[in-house]
Every structure is written in structure tokens, then in C-alpha cells.
Amino acid sequence: MAGERRRSVALAITGASGAMYATRTLAALLSRGVHVELVISDYGRRLLRDELGEEAAVEQLMPYLSGRYGDEVGRGSIALHSNRDLGATIASGSHGCSGMAIVPCSMKTLAGVAHGLSRSLVERAADVMLKERRRLVIVPRETPMSLPQLRNMVLCAEAGAMMLPAMPAFYQLPKTLDDLADFMAGKILGALGFEHDLYPPWSGRVGA
Ligand SMILES: Cc1cc2nc3c(=O)[nH]c(=O)nc-3n(C[C@H](O)[C@H](O)[C@H](O)COP(=O)(O)O)c2cc1C
């Protein structure tokens, strides 16, 4: 835990459905004392408000998270960057960010990462993770998927990213939307190298 406390992770929120996956992941990281370099695209900002309400607007994110997930989120810290600021810390490989997750990841941002376009801070920071061989976790959300979208996922996987689609499982017998969000956030934390108890490990039997 003491090691985790010093860790710094980048989290990008883009304009795909599933804003709750992002807020749950952010809250779980903060509760572990992680420093989060946060960047949210214009449509990511819109999705936060559209899906979670005005109280989840970017300007009020910390009070929203502590109200929703508890005061432990105060153990971590956030540096919020503009998606237009290509001079932000996480645009450089010299910054000590240990990994990055894009939650959720739109097909547009997926395409940008797959082709190394670096048009925005989200795309540039992802590009940095790939070139530095650090963990990049991409959580795409779209259905059905076109051939270019499928190919873009393969390109990202070939470049070293972990493709972690927003596909919550049902063998944990979820009862609420929060259970589904916990499952996805747990998968993302695990992929970033964090221990978590967001869902119980598979016991060999459904419901056991
Ligand atoms: C309400 C809403 C839901 C959307 N859901 C998705 C989605 O699930 N997946 C996706 O790829 N794009 C989705 N989009 C479209 C993206 O937001 C759009 O392509 C945008 O340009 C993405 O930009 P960004 O990657 O910079 O956030 C949605 C848009 C809106 C307004």
C-alpha cells in the first residue's frame, strides 16, 4: 500500500457511453492514495453530465466522488489537464506516470491512438505510454463494431495496449448498476497493477 501511495496514473475520460465506469475507476484509484493525472475530452465532459447528472460535472467531480463513494477518495489527488494542452506533464515520457487508462474510450479516440495521431492530450499521453512501454489500458464502448474499429483495436493491442472492452460479466450475479461498474473498475485497476476488492474472485461456482 505504501508503494501504491506514491504512484501516479493517467486517466482519460472520452465521449463513449459508460461515464460511471470512469467515475468508479477514478474513485477507486483515489481511495488507494493514487495521484491521478486526469484529462477529459469535450464529449467526455458531456457524457459525465448526461449520464450522471449536473452534480457530476467536471468542476464538481471531487465532491461528487466523495458523496458517492466515500471520504476515502480524499486520500488521493487529481491534476486536471485540458485536452488541448499538449504541453501538459503527461505529454512527455519524462513524466513518471506509471500507466494510463482510457475509460470509456470512444471509437474516435481509439482510431487516434491506433494511428499515433497525438491530436489531443488524450491521444498524445496514450502515445507516450506505448513508446515508453508502459501500461495502457483502453476500455472501448461501441456496438456493433465496424471493420475499421475492430482493426484499430488490433493495432492498439499489437502496439502493446491492453484492450479491456466495457463488458461487465454476470457470473457475479450483479444486482445494481454499481455492481457492474465495480466489476469494470476492478478489471481496470487489476490491469494497471493494483490490488482491489471491487468484486470477489471467482470461486469456481456462480453465486458461491
Ligand atoms: C450521448 C452520446 C453517447 C455516445 N456514445 C458513444 C459510444 O458509446 N461510443 C463511441 O465510440 N462514441 C460515442 N459517442 C460519440 C462520440 O462522443 C464522438 O465520436 C466524439 O467525437 C468522441 O470524441 P472524443 O473521443 O474526443 O471524446 C457518443 C456521443 C454522445 C453525445
Summarize pLDDT for 75-106 with one digit per residue, the tens. Answer: 999 999 999 999 999 999 999 899 999 999 99
CA distance 166 to 182: 12
Closest ligand 1 atom to 110 CA: 25
Question: Could you give phi then psi for residue 100, rounded to 5 degrees?
Answer: -150, 145
String of b and e for 82-108 (b: at least 16 CB within 10 Å)?
A: ebeebebbbbeeeeebebbbbbbbbbb
CA distance 112 to 86: 15
In this predicted model, what pLDDT tens digit does every residue of 144-157 receive, in sequence order? Answer: 999 999 999 999 99
Q: What is the dihedral of CA 108, 134, 137, 100, to 10 degrees?
A: -80
The mean of the pLDDT values for the chain is 95
8 A C-beta contact, residue 83 and residue 41: yes
Pocket of ligand 1 (CB under 6 A): 14-17, 41, 43-44, 46, 50, 106-109, 141-142
- Give residue 114's identity as a one-letter amino acid code: A
CA of 2 to the centre of ligand 1 (A): 37
pLDDT more than 90, % of the chain: 91
